[in-house]
């Protein structure tokens, strides 16, 4: 089955969509898939189709895995999230999110990256309150907030865009960065957003080398699906335009990141 084609295949069901989402949650956070996680995925799928036997559930997981481990898996996961969002009732989406939490909790630790994916699902399906309740009720150990997160990496890209081409950070550029960062994490208040931006600024002031910047570029690519990487590019265009003038260097930054993130589209300035 070719990537980007699963929705056109009559054998692909919502159970496959769920399996793909669960696999993305289990694997993408630590690049591994334990037997415990596979078992938790199978149990979750079985609860949606009690009449299916173990072999049938196993086949669904394998078919979803064959898609997940293809090169363009991210777009397929996004498609599955959208499909479930449209096709399921609110109560069913809440149940899928609860199942996703069980998969995330399977190893006894709820990583920040797993919490972020759960937040993305909850936001996409407009069930944030369910996610908050699940986090509060979990018996898994919560990984504490890291000193540096993907939001810091995004903030660093903003700063590079705003500062590196003219050596200045204007008030309007800073205000735009705070506004855009806030849209990534609506639950964070402005002081927390400013703290993230300040930490990224302190790091930038230490003149990180190209390898350091490449690490942040790669971290964003690994952490965010293609659709969200496109949003980051749109943020950067907005920041570049904030002072009223888009410079050649700013265009080059967007074009370079577009290639690095495998987004082959033309961004309008």
DSSP calls for 125-194 = TT-HHHHHHHHHH--SEEPPPPSS-HHHHHHHHHHHHHHTTTS---HHHHHHHHHHHHHH-TTS-HHHHH
Question: In this model, does residue 4 exceed pLDDT 50?
Answer: no
What phi and psi, each to the nearest 5 degrees, are found at residue 168? -135, 155
Task: For the chain, give every domain's residue range.
Answer: 6-142, 150-260
What phi and psi, each to the nearest 5 degrees, are found at residue 188? -85, 135
Structure tokens at 26: 């289990």
CA 177 to each of CA 32, 46, 149, 172, 204: distance values in angstroms, whole numbers, following the listed order: 34, 45, 16, 9, 15
Q: Could you read off the pLDDT of 16-32 as tens digits, one per residue?
A: 999 999 998 888 666 67
What phi and psi, each to the nearest 5 degrees, are found at residue 183? -70, -25
Assess whether the region 6-142 and the region 150-260 belong to the same CATH fold: yes
Find the helix or strand (DSSP H, E) in which 230 lies.
helix 226-241
Report domain 6-142's class: mainly alpha
> What mean pLDDT is predicted for residues 35-64?
93
| For the chain, percent of residues with pLDDT exceeding 70 | 90
What is the CATH code for 150-260? 1.10.3680.10
Q: Could you read off the pLDDT of 245-265 as tens digits, one per residue?
A: 778 888 889 999 999 998 876
């Amino acid at each position: 089955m070719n990537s980007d084609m699963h929705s056109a295949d009559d054998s692909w069901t919502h159970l496959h969509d769920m399996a793909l989402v669960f696999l993305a949650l289990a694997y993408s956070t630590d690049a591994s898939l334990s037997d415990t996680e596979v078992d938790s995925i199978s149990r979750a799928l079985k609860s949606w189709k009690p009449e299916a036997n173990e072999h049938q559930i196993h086949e669904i997981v394998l078919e979803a895995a064959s898609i997940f481990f293809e090169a363009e898996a991210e777009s397929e996961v996004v498609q599955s999230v959208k499909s479930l969002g449209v096709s399921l009732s609110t109560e069913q989406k809440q149940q899928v999110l609860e199942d996703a939490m069980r998969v995330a909790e399977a190893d006894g630790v709820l990583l920040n990256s797993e919490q972020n994916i759960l937040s993305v699902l909850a936001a996409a399906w407009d069930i944030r309150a369910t996610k908050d309740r699940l986090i509060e009720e979990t018996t898994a150990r919560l990984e504490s907030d890291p000193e540096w997160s993907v939001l810091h990496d995004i903030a660093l890209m903003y700063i590079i865009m705003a500062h590196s081409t003219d050596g200045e950070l204007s008030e309007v550029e800073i205000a735009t960065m705070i506004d855009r960062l806030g849209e990534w994490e609506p639950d964070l208040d402005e002081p927390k957003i400013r703290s993230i931006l300040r930490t990224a600024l302190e790091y930038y002031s230490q003149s990180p080398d190209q390898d350091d910047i490449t690490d942040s570029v790669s971290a964003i690519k690994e952490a965010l699906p293609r659709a969200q990487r496109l949003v980051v590019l749109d943020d950067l265009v907005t920041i570049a335009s904030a002072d009223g003038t888009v410079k050649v260097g700013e265009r080059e930054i967007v074009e370079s990141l577009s290639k690095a993130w495998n987004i082959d589209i033309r961004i309008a300035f």
